[in-house]
């Protein structure tokens, strides 16, 4: 949460920073601000609301300067106002600083600074940092970079910080702990900093991901210097970005979410590229191979995740238990980390995270590691914090997901978990060779089937039109389709602000049935498989109470087409892989309803894509 971006070099900083902020807006959009150094002046511009508000405001401002910092905020401490927007500036107007994270001991530091005569303008935790840096630099008579390092020794919490000072116009300092920060090294001696690589890729592919408690010191005309918090110099590890610029554009779609929904045939295919071969009959997750035996022998696998990734974990639980007969538990990372979980060296803890930065998931992994467990990751963002702290892992290769509501990352996570379940089952011998071969061929056919579901978009849009004004909705599914119901309900809540609940279909009788009347839409996944008959009975129960059934059915299911008020067909597939197919209509329903209701699909209110605070 919160996006930070900075530039120092020979070019004008403002357009680079503004563009960067737009790329990072998925991280928060409560306010935006920029500080620029123009010769010996430090100019700061801040506006509540989206980056576009700031952009409009800047039309009438002098935004010259070849060094600057910018921030897009997801509010934690203090309302989303102009004053609480970053950058925050020292009282003498010399130092400006942006921050992503939370300073947990900010109140104690603030009281001390007030005693020292500092006046606070904002309600943020961040303002403490800039005053502390100023205080230390004056007290110790050190430059602001050293003052930042000393200040951080007193700080408890999470941070990615970039600071500039008008007294040192050719210099910039940055630091991180638990919140991500990337430094891009340009070809002409210029430098770019950002929360992720998306604002940087346009200018350079040479990047350094800062590690926890590292400080980057940038001086124009010199090489990038990295220090740890104890002031020991470290050699920067320069990596080559693989990200392509086109992946960050809307590519002709109205919204990133729609583009990402339509990318799924490709993203799922990319996810198994080099990992599955149905004609030769093998599945191999290179990154996890070394740990497969450990997983097979583990007392249990514990999956930790949040939000949509947690739903993917639930699908994974069904698949791994069913196919590989390994005990799996799925935990909300936020609950796991605070309840003294019983974890030992015999456990394998797998984090699932699109961003690889979710604070609770990261902390859950650290806890598991401290108890001796093997920790693995399934992440989308290459080089993310989770991918770097885990013993091993597998990337989903879905490409950048910009829409705040997760779509292609979810189906890619489920794809990886399907591959993992198959691979473990094959190694463990819990499925026969012929079953294994049938299943990998079925999985390989999924991208083409997803494409066929997407071709129903126009019909799905018509169904969305019928239900765009409802206030509540229920989603029902059984077995591995129950998490799909949860995910369908979450998508609707997130982007259209309609209250929706997902339930295991049989649980409906234990409460939610009381809500059913002629105004209540009930989305049911009723594809052919083990629990088909039971789900059909659940549908009859809803019908008897006049609820409106929208059923996801297997292609050619004439029986259900007659019973349901509305139906969406998905191609026949093996039960194990229906979760991927059944998810697509729910994504499209939510998308169309949100658009019809005039909601901001890509940036729903109050949400952020990357939740780097607990």
Binding mask 277-306 for ligand G6P (x = CB under 6 A): -----------------------------x
Q: Does 195 bind ligand G6P (CB under 6 A)?
A: no
Q: Does 1 bind ligand G6P (CB under 6 A)?
A: no
In the block, tokens 């300092």 appear at: 173
Choosing from 157, 307, 447, 571, the residue that interacts with ligand G6P (CB under 6 A) is: 307
- Helix, strand or coil, per DSSP, at residue 63: coil
Alpha helices in 341-481 (DSSP H): 359-370, 385-389, 408-428, 433-444, 446-454, 457-467
What backbone torsions phi and psi does residue 264 show, to the nearest 5 degrees? -60, -35
Query: Does 219 participate in catalysis according to the annotation?
Result: no
Q: Which residue is nearest to ligand G6P (CB)?
A: 307
Complete edge-to-edge strand list for the sheet that includes strand 157-165: 88-89, 95-103, 157-165, 171-177, 214-219, 225-228, 233-234
Choosing from 404, 412, 420, 513, the residue that interacts with ligand G6P (CB under 6 A) is: 404
Return the number of the residue (200 or 404) whose C-beta is nearest ligand G6P: 404
Q: Does 122 bind ligand G6P (CB under 6 A)?
A: no
Stretch that binds ligand G6P, among 49-57, 79-87, 191-199, 403-411 (CB under 6 A): 403-411
Stretch that binds ligand G6P, among 49-57, 109-117, 400-408, 540-548 (CB under 6 A): 400-408
Instruction: Choose, from 22, 110, 491, 609, the residue flagged as catalytic.
Output: 609
Structure tokens given for 121: 């303008």
Q: Does 573 bind ligand G6P (CB under 6 A)?
A: no
Closest CA to 345 of 376, 375, 373: 373
CB atoms within 10 A of CB 329: 16
What backbone torsions phi and psi does residue 294 show, to the nearest 5 degrees? -60, -40
Return the number of the residue (91 or 607) whose C-beta is nearest ligand G6P: 607
Choosing from 67, 122, 171, 354, the residue that interacts with ligand G6P (CB under 6 A) is: 354
Return the number of the residue (163 or 194) whose C-beta is nearest ligand G6P: 194
Q: Does 334 bind ligand G6P (CB under 6 A)?
A: no
Return the number of the residue (164 or 485) whose C-beta is nearest ligand G6P: 485
Query: Please, what is the minimum distance in Å from the beta carbon of residue 336 to ligand G6P?
Result: 13
252: left (phi over 0), alpha (psi -120 to 50) or beta: left
Return the number of the residue (248 or 404) whose C-beta is nearest ligand G6P: 404
Choosing from 31, 84, 308, 527, the residue that interacts with ligand G6P (CB under 6 A) is: 308
**Binding footprint of ligand G6P, residue count (CB under 6 A):** 16
Query: Angle at which helices 264-272 and 408-428 pack, to 10 degrees?
Result: 30
Query: Please, what is the minimum distance in Å from the beta carbon of residue 307 to ligand G6P?
Result: 3
Return the number of the residue (89 or 258) whose C-beta is nearest ligand G6P: 258
Complete edge-to-edge strand list for the sheet that includes strand 182-185: 41-48, 31-38, 67-73, 3-8, 191-194, 182-185, 206-209, 239-240
Query: Does 271 participate in catalysis according to the annotation?
Result: no
429: left (phi over 0), alpha (psi -120 to 50) or beta: left
d(CA 67, CA 225): 18
Q: Does 411 bind ligand G6P (CB under 6 A)?
A: no
Beta strands 191-194 and 3-8, pairing class: antiparallel
Q: Does 330 bind ligand G6P (CB under 6 A)?
A: no
Q: Does 326 bind ligand G6P (CB under 6 A)?
A: no
Beta-bridge mates of residue 312: none
Q: Does 406 bind ligand G6P (CB under 6 A)?
A: yes
Query: Please, what is the minimum distance in Å from the beta carbon of residue 487 to ligand G6P?
Result: 9
Stretch that binds ligand G6P, among 36-44, 348-356, 510-518, 535-543 (CB under 6 A): 348-356
Residue 242 makes CB contacts below 8 A (sequence gap 6+) with 382
Query: Please, what is the minimum distance in Å from the beta carbon of residue 116 to ligand G6P?
Result: 39
Query: Please, what is the minimum distance in Å from the beta carbon of residue 136 to ligand G6P?
Result: 35
d(CA 214, CA 231): 9
Beta-bridge mates of residue 41: 38
Closest CA to 179 of 152, 229, 217, 213: 213
Choosing from 407, 492, 609, 612, the residue that interacts with ligand G6P (CB under 6 A) is: 609
Torsion sign across C-alpha atoms 482, 484, 490, 493: negative
Q: Does 100 bind ligand G6P (CB under 6 A)?
A: no
Structure tokens given for 193: 């900093």
In the block, tokens 């799905």 appear at: 460
Task: Yes or no: say if 556 and 583 are a contact pair by the CB < 8 Å rule.
Answer: no
Q: Does 179 bind ligand G6P (CB under 6 A)?
A: no
Q: Does 355 bind ligand G6P (CB under 6 A)?
A: yes
Return the number of the residue (357 or 557) whose C-beta is nearest ligand G6P: 357
Q: Which residues bind ligand G6P (CB under 6 A)?
A: 306-309, 353-355, 358, 361, 404-406, 607, 609-611
Please identify every residue annotated as catalytic. Answer: 2, 609
């Amino acid at each position: 949460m919160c996006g930070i971006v900075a530039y120092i070099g020979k070019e004008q900083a403002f357009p680079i920073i503004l563009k960067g902020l737009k790329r990072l807006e998925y991280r928060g959009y409560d306010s935006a601000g920029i500080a620029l150094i123009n010769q010996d002046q430090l100019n700061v511009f801040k506006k509540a609301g989206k980056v576009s508000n700031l952009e409009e405001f800047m039309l009438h401002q002098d935004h010259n300067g070849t060094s600057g910092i910018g921030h897009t905020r997801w509010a934690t401490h203090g309302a989303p106002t102009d004053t609480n927007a970053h950058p925050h500036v020292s009282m003498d107007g010399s130092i400006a600083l942006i921050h992503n994270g939370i300073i947990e001991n900010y109140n104690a530091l603030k009281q001390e600074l007030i005693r020292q005569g500092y006046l606070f303008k904002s309600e943020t935790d961040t303002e403490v940092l800039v005053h502390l840096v100023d205080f230390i630099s004056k007290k110790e008579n050190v430059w602001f970079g050293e003052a930042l390092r000393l200040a951080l020794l007193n700080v408890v919490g999470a941070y990615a910080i970039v600071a500039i000072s008008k007294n040192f116009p050719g210099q910039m300092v940055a630091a991180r702990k638990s919140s991500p920060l990337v430094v891009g090294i340009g070809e002409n001696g210029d430098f770019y900093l950002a929360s992720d690589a998306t604002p940087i890729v346009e200018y350079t592919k040479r990047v350094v991901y800062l590690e926890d408690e590292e400080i980057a010191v940038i001086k124009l005309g010199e090489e990038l210097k990295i220090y740890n918090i104890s002031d020991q110099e470290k050699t920067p590890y320069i990596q080559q970005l693989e990200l392509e610029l086109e992946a960050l554009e809307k590519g002709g779609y109205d919204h990133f979410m729609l583009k990402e929904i339509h990318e799924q045939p490709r993203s799922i295919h990319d996810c198994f590229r080099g990992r599955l071969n149905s004609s030769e009959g093998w599945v191999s997750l290179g990154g996890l191979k070394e740990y497969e035996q450990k997983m097979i022998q583990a007392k249990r696998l514990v999956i930790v995740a949040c939000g949509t990734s947690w739903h993917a974990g639930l699908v994974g639980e069904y698949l791994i238990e069913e196919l590989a007969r390994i005990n799996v538990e799925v935990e909300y990372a936020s609950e796991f980390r605070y309840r003294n979980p019983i974890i030992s060296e015999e456990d394998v803890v797998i984090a699932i995270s699109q961003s690889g930065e979710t604070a609770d998931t990261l902390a859950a992994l650290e806890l598991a590691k401290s108890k001796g467990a093997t920790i693995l990751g399934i992440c989308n963002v290459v080089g993310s914090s989770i991918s770097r702290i885990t013993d091993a892992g597998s990337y989903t290769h879905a490409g950048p997901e910009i829409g705040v509501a997760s779509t292609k990352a979810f189906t890619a996570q489920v794809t990886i978990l399907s591959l993992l379940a198959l691979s473990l089952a094959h190694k463990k011998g819990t499925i026969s060779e012929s079953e294994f071969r049938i299943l990998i061929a079925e999985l390989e056919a999924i991208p083409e089937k997803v494409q066929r579901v997407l071709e129903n978009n126009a019909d799905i849009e018509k169904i969305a039109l019928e239900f765009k004004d409802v206030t509540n909705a229920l989603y029902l599914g059984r077995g591995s389709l129950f998490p799909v119901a949860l995910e369908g309900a979450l998508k609707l809540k997130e982007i259209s602000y309609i209250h929706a609940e997902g339930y295991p279909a049989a649980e409906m009788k234990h409460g939610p049935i009381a809500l059913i009347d002629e105004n209540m839409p009930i989305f049911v996944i009723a594809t052919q498989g083990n629990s088909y008959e039971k789900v059909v009975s659940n549908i009859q129960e809803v019908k008897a109470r006049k609820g409106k059934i929208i059923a996801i059915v297997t292609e050619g299911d004439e029986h259900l087409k007659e019973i349901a008020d509305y139906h969406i067909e998905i191609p026949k597939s093996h039960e194990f892989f229906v979760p991927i197919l059944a998810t697509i209509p729910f994504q499209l329903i939510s998308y169309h309803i949100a658009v019809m209701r005039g909601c901001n699909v890509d940036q729903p209110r109050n949400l952020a894509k990357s939740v780097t605070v607990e």
